[in-house]
Amino acid sequence: MLRRKADWAKAIGWTDEEKKLLALLDRSRVPVHVAIIMDGNGRWARSRGLPRGFGHRAGVESLREVVRASSDLGIGMLTVYAFSTENWRRPSEEVGLLMNLLVEYLNREMEELCANGVRVNAIGRTADLPPAAVKALEWSRAKSAGNEGLLLNLALNYGGRAEIVDAVKGLVGDVVAGKLAPDQVDEKAVGRYLYTTGLPDPDLLIRPAGDLRLSNFLLWQLAYTEFWLTPVLWPDFRRLHLLKALVDFQRRERRFGGLHNP
């Protein structure tokens, strides 16, 4: 996959605090793949005495800013948890609003996303989303398919366990059909049956809103991912927080189960 070089020149209009963080960033070690659990929309709305939908709407603005900044900073791919397989349990009005926001976001943002070379993709059981969402996703995927900048991966009707179940079904089907020998089943082979086939595992997982759990997100892929947690609610999450996460990430020593560097 072709990675766009970090476009630091675009970092005009950054605040002094952001510029200080930017100066600490090593351009050659920006994470290739960042994953985000966009959490805290409901709490953000509640703290203002507003219905939950206001929190989701504000969350879309955070997404816009983070996508823009990720693209400018040369991050290769961003996987955001937008709707889980469990989110169907929410009131139908809230589910409907989230789906409308998705369609609205894609319709409104595609032009700018394409102008910035962003490629849109979705992971999850997306065929089971409402028809308008399926259509908007297909259109966005097709329209941005040739782009070579940031990959924006929207996790929709996504569940980590559902993904593993789907992968096992695909893999077992190929074994039964004689396309894959049982002794060819290894970690790499399993990875090829996941929704994220062909993508490197996330280097960094960002979880706003203070909860300390994975919430069924990328269960296989997060095995060696660095976590960055913040109490900031997603609608308040800005590029400043992304920069803080990136600087902190670059201070970590990743060992992947090996030894400390001497």
Which residues would be at the binding site for ligand FPP (CB under 6 A)? 38-43, 56, 59-60, 63, 82, 87, 98, 101-102, 105, 154, 209, 234
Alpha-carbon distance 261 to 195, whole Å?
34
Cβ atoms 242, 250 nearer than 8 A: no
Residue closer to ligand FPP by CB (options 48, 179) is: 48
Task: Give SS3 for 121.
Answer: strand
Q: Least separation, in Å, of the C-beta of 227 and ligand FPP?
A: 17
Residue closer to ligand FPP by CB (options 60, 167) is: 60
Q: Least separation, in Å, of the C-beta of 212 and ligand FPP?
A: 13
Q: Least separation, in Å, of the C-beta of 51 and ligand FPP?
A: 11
Cβ atoms 164, 191 nearer than 8 A: no
**Residue 111 CA: distances (Å) to CA of 117, 136, 152, 195:** 10, 13, 14, 26
The catalytically annotated residue of 7, 87, 166, 248 is: 87
39 is catalytic: yes
Q: Which has the closest alpha carbon to 251: 202, 204, 200? A: 204
Sheet holding 204-207, edge to edge: 119-123, 151-158, 77-84, 33-37, 204-207, 226-229
87 is catalytic: yes
Residue closer to ligand FPP by CB (options 32, 233) is: 233
Alpha-carbon distance 44 to 129, whole Å?
26
Q: Which residues contact 165 (CB under 8 A, 6 or more apart)?
A: none
Instruction: Please identify the residue of the shown chain whose CB is closest to the bound ligand FPP.
Output: 42
Q: Least separation, in Å, of the C-beta of 52 and ligand FPP?
A: 6
Residue closer to ligand FPP by CB (options 36, 171) is: 36
Which residue numbers are catalytic? 39, 87
